[in-house]
A and B are shown apart, each in its own frame.
Chain A
Amino acid sequence: GNSVTQMEGPVTLSEEAFLTINCTYTATGYPSLFWYVQYPGEGLQLLLKATKADDKGSNKGFEATYRKETTSFHLEKGSVQVSDSAVYFCALPSNDYKLSFGAGTTVTVRA
């Protein structure tokens, strides 16, 4: 079935640094791709999504481009803030009704 492989981290950055979290996928066809974020003590929230190849999802300064040539959906942010400290999960549908999640990447941003 469809699956994702995600850079595990942890990642520690200084404020205003550039963040990249790698995610590659294996899939039949071109399913939607997602990034979720989990802030400390909270549930997962959908951060952004892309529904077809070459789409770019964006939200809160984060971006990810659905690249079929490299089967990737890397998450990027140009200038991180302390409030971006969280765990980030890449995900895609593993079948019609389930999602397959990456292992999660813990990001810590220092002031």
Chain B
Amino acid sequence: DAGITQSPRHKVTETGTPVTLRCHQTENHRYMYWYRQDPGHGLRLIHYSYGVKDTDKGEVSDGYSVSRSKTEDFLLTLESATSSQTSVYFCASRGGHEQYFGPGTRLTVT
């Protein structure tokens, strides 16, 4: 499997605070993705990147921004966290047609 790590693994934050989640991959994959996973909604794509500084929106991008300054790193930022953004966030990178997932970050917004 691709070496994908996420940090932090768990975070509790207050409504209105900014939060940045980090994803790091060691496979030199061009494409990277951020998903959120919620009960009853499955996996939903937030943003993705198709190269350094090249990003685009997914299906649930409102309230989120991303940045990719290096091939190996993809950051997800919640500019002002809301309770509806409490979720488990997964990063993935793409090799061939398959995607390889990180272990996830559990974010709680109180």
Which A residues fall within an 8 A CB radius of B?
Answer: 31-32, 34, 36, 42-46, 49, 89, 93, 97-99, 101-104
Q: Are B42 and A98 in contact (CB under 8 A)?
A: no
Q: Are A42 and B103 in contact (CB under 8 A)?
A: yes
Residues of B within 8 A of A97 (CB): 31, 48, 50, 94
Total cross-chain contacts (CB, 8 A):
43
Which B residues fall within an 8 A CB radius of A?
Answer: 1, 4, 31, 33, 42-43, 45, 48, 50, 90, 92, 94, 97-104
Q: Which one of A36, A46, A104 has the highest number of Cβ atoms from chain B below 10 Å of its Cβ?
A: A46
Q: Are A45 and B101 in contact (CB under 8 A)?
A: yes
Q: Are A44 and B94 in contact (CB under 8 A)?
A: no
Q: Are A43 and B42 in contact (CB under 8 A)?
A: no
Q: Which one of A36, A42, A43, A44 has the highest number of Cβ atoms from chain B below 10 Å of its Cβ?
A: A43
